[in-house]
């Protein structure tokens, strides 16, 4: 056999078979081929020129109308795999002067191709670069198949500006977190799964919280582990090992919408470290609650996330 009679590649085999099929259609073959070519060209041109940026802005404007936040985005682009990428995304309060409560340097949404064939983009893959770290995950918000799997790595707290209205001073550390929630076919409020958070090297220096001065604190490790179950976040372990104080705790958060109305119930034990300055030991001793061993104070935090109370 020669190269003239045997196709040498998959592309050549495809072209040969297409030619045979169109040839078998007789006089209608060229017309059908032209129609297919025109249809493919139309789709490509439509995707390339579709004003997706304008559509996205209108969708976001409608979704946040009447709410306390607004969403700003940079330029966007649609890939050949139908993944949509944004150059930037910022979530702000309605006040023009407010710092963004969330900001991503880039954001990418990757729909499920199998899901698209069924008329839905879910489960939706998400990837983002934010505050020097990364977010990777997959989400399916549909009640019958709700699931969230996400990993946060290397987020630099020193670059996060969303807390500036309430917190002044220097905050350093790298945030890491994982979450895996499964609704088991019963929706988001019935979802269960583990949540873990860690901040190695957390440092607070020259800090004021709502105008109240906080002593300089340096933690080698801060971590939290818990489980979400039926709308309640059960915190099984909260640990903060610092050079000045040591904190141990547990409790739960009853999730509500909006988030700031979620009900908090935490039991903490705050103990001055061996080398803590006398002023810090005195400050710990003045905390509400009851006394414990080694100058520790047992305190409770109750109320809501928006208005917690120490007792």
| Domain parsing of the chain, residue ranges | 19-49
Per the model's pLDDT, the better-predicted residue between 163 and 16 turns out to be 163
CA distance 172 to 204: 7
Q: Is residue 306 very low, low, confident or very high in pLDDT (cuts 50, 70, 90)?
A: confident
Report the pLDDT value the prediction gives residue 247, as an integer from 0 to 100: 95
Q: Is the pLDDT of residue 50 over 70?
A: no
Res. 6 pLDDT band, cuts 50 70 90: very low
**pLDDT per residue over 93-102, tens digit each?**
766 666 788 8
The per-residue pLDDT of the chain, averaged, comes to 82
Averaged over 262-272, what is the pLDDT?
94
10 Å Cβ neighbour count for 125?
A: 17
Do 100 and 162 touch, CB atoms closer than 8 A? yes
Question: Are the beta carbons of 280 and 244 closer than 8 angstroms?
Answer: yes
Give the tens place of pLDDT for each residue, 74-107.
887 777 777 888 888 888 776 666 678 888 999 9
CA 111 vs CA 21, 86, 104: distances in Å: 33, 14, 19
| Token pair belonging to 298 | 């047992």
What is the pTM (predicted TM-score) of this model? 0.74
DSSP state of 97: T
240, burial (CB in 10 Å: exposed 0-12, middle 13-18, buried 19+): buried
Residue indicated by tokens 């903060």: 240
Q: Which residue has the tokens 């490790």?
A: 221
> pLDDT per residue over 174-227, tens digit each?
999 999 999 888 888 789 999 999 999 999 998 888 778 888 899 999 999 999
């Amino acid at each position: 056999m020669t190269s003239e009679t045997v196709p040498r590649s998959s592309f050549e085999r495809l072209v040969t078979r297409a030619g045979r099929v169109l040839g078998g259609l007789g006089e209608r073959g060229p017309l059908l081929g032209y129609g297919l070519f025109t249809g493919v060209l139309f789709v490509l041109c439509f995707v390339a020129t579709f004003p997706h940026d304008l559509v996205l802005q209108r969708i976001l404007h409608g979704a946040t109308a009447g709410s306390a936040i607004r969403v700003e985005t940079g330029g966007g682009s649609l890939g050949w795999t139908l993944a949509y990428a944004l150059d930037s995304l910022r979530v702000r309060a309605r006040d023009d002067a407010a710092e963004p409560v969330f900001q991503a340097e880039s954001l990418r949404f990757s729909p499920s191709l199998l899901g698209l064939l069924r008329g839905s983009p879910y489960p939706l893959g998400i990837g983002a670069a934010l505050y020097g770290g990364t977010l990777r995950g997959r989400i399916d918000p549909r009640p019958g198949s709700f699931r969230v799997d996400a990993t946060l790595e290397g987020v630099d707290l020193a670059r996060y500006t969303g807390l500036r209205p309430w917190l002044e001073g220097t905050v350093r550390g790298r945030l890491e977190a994982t979450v895996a929630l499964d609704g088991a076919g019963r929706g988001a409020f019935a979802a269960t799964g583990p949540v873990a958070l860690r901040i190695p090297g957390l440092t607070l220096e020259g800090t004021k919280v709502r105008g109240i001065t906080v002593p300089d604190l340096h933690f080698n490790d801060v971590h939290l582990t818990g489980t979400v179950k039926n709308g309640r976040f059960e915190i099984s372990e909260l640990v903060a090992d610092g050079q000045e104080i040591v904190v141990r705790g547990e409790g739960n958060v009853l999730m509500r919408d909006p988030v700031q109305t979620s009900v908090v119930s935490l039991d903490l034990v705050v103990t001055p470290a061996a080398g803590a300055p006398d002023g810090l030991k005195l400050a710990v001793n003045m905390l509400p609650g009851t006394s414990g061993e080694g100058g520790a104070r047992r305190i409770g935090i109750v109320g809501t996330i928006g208005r917690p109370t120490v007792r």
